[in-house]
Amino acid sequence: MEKRWYVIRANPRCERRAIVSLAEAGIEAFCPMQQVRRKRVICGKRRTKDVEMSLFSGYVFVAFPADDLAFGAARKCDGVAQFIAAHGRPVEIRADRVEALQVAQDMGMFDFRKARQRVQFEIGEQVVIRSGWLDGQEATVEVINSKTVGVSLGTGLRVVVDAEGVERAA
């Protein structure tokens, strides 16, 4: 059966409460979560703690069967503030967008705990792009930033690429 996805605004920091309450009401809910590492200084010592928090703070996706749009039941759930609406009607989200978020979360794309590697390239060095629509293209490094690398392709096209998506040419 086809599902229709909508977005609700949860009460402040109550995304998990809203998900549990919606599940108890028999409504499918999804909130993409990100894993981050928080740093705190306590008594002169640096402490880190891994925390799971909402990717879209304050928002939860809910799915209804196409023949039973139970907006009233969802509004009554604990932690739910309101539906995101336009002209008084809840806005439907394309199912493939929500599914893409679910797949990305399952693949660990929202895990930001790993330390980013420093860029180890030099200007003028030959590299191969390993991500995006330029996958497999060889390029020359022109600009180096903390997280990105500016490269020039052989055709004269200049692009900025995430440093993790570039490796040295063999």
- Helix ranges (H only) for the chain are 15-24, 71-75, 95-106
Higher pLDDT, 20 or 41: 20
Instruction: Flag whether the pTM goes above 0.85.
Output: no
What is the pLDDT, as a whole number, of residue 119?
Answer: 61
Region 94-103: mean pLDDT is: 93
Q: Cβ of 120: how many Cβ atoms within 10 Å? A: 10
Region 139-167: mean pLDDT is: 85
Task: Report all structural domains of the chain as residue ranges with CATH numbers, in order of start.
Answer: 3-106 (3.30.70.940), 126-168 (2.30.30)
Among 79-83, 124-128, 153-157, the least confident range: 153-157
What is the pLDDT, as a whole number, of residue 81?
Answer: 96
Contact between 54 and 34 (Cβ < 8 Å)? yes
Percent pLDDT > 90 in the chain is 49
Structure confidence by residue, pLDDT tens digits, 99-138? 999 998 998 888 877 655 556 788 899 999 888 778 888 9
- pLDDT over 60 at 12, yes or no: yes
What is the pLDDT, as a whole number, of residue 133?
Answer: 79
What is the pLDDT, as a whole number, of residue 29?
Answer: 97
Q: Cβ of 167: how many Cβ atoms within 10 Å? A: 13
Mean pLDDT (the chain) is 88
- pLDDT over 80 at 77, yes or no: yes
What is the pLDDT, as a whole number, of residue 99?
Answer: 94
Region 30-43: mean pLDDT is: 87
Q: DSSP per residue over 20-32, as a string?
A: HHHHHTT-EEE--
What is the pLDDT, as a whole number, of residue 28?
Answer: 95
